Structure 1
Amino acid sequence: MASKRSVRVRLDYPLNRVAEPVVYHLVTEFRLVPNIRRAQIDSRVGGWIALELDGSEEDLEAAMNYLNDLGITVTPIDETEDWNV
């Protein structure tokens, strides 16, 4: 059985990806459970989402590769930072 874990990340979207259902694909294709904590999306400049993702090590790694392939920058959020946003 694959070990489950949780990661906190910020996803920075380029303008050409704002209208795509990226979080939906993280759920349906990679079996991740998202907890969106904060987001700002602007169809003129791009945007970002701060979220926690729960899933297996393998699914998380595959999802990070998928996001990178889309040109979405993935930045880990330090676990010690205040998460009450």
Structure 2
Amino acid sequence: MRVQLNFALDRVKEPVIWHLSHYYRLKFSIRYASIDVEKGGYTVVDFSGEREDLNNGLAWAQEQGVEISALGINGANEWAI
């Protein structure tokens, strides 16, 4: 699943993607990122893993203040951002 993770300034330095990978067993590929440690930013990430782990991990990220936008499901024709 491709998602855009929007980070507020206070979340930019936190290892959110690592946490999702480590604690929720999600594999990831970062497709694009624009981060400014003075303004915040966003990252476009392809995640794969068990559906329950994906749902739980993204719910955790939202609880941490990360805004999430789903961009696609299966990877086909999803190279454009």
**TM-score, L = length of structure 1:** 0.85
Give the Cα–Cα distance (whole angstroms) in 2 for the partners of residues 81 and 44 of structure 1.
Answer: 33
Instruction: State the identity %.
Output: 33
**TM-score, L = length of structure 2:** 0.89
1:47 aligned to 35, 38, 41, which one? 41
Unaligned stretches of 5+ residues in structure 2: none
Give the Cα–Cα distance (whole angstroms) in 1 for the partners of residues 77 and 8 of structure 2.
Answer: 25
Cα distance, 1:64 vs structure 2: 1.1
Q: Give the alignment of 1:53-68 within 5 angstroms.
A: 53-68=47-62
Deviations 1:32-64 (A, max 9, x none): 000100001101110100010000011001111
Equivalenced residues, count: 79
Deviations 1:56-79 (A, max 9, x none): 011001111111101111101145
What do you get for the CA RMSD once the two structures are aligned? 1.6
2:29 aligned to 17, 21, 35, which one? 35
Partner of 1:75: 69
Give the Cα–Cα distance (whole angstroms) in 1 for the partners of residues 45 and 25 of structure 2.
Answer: 15
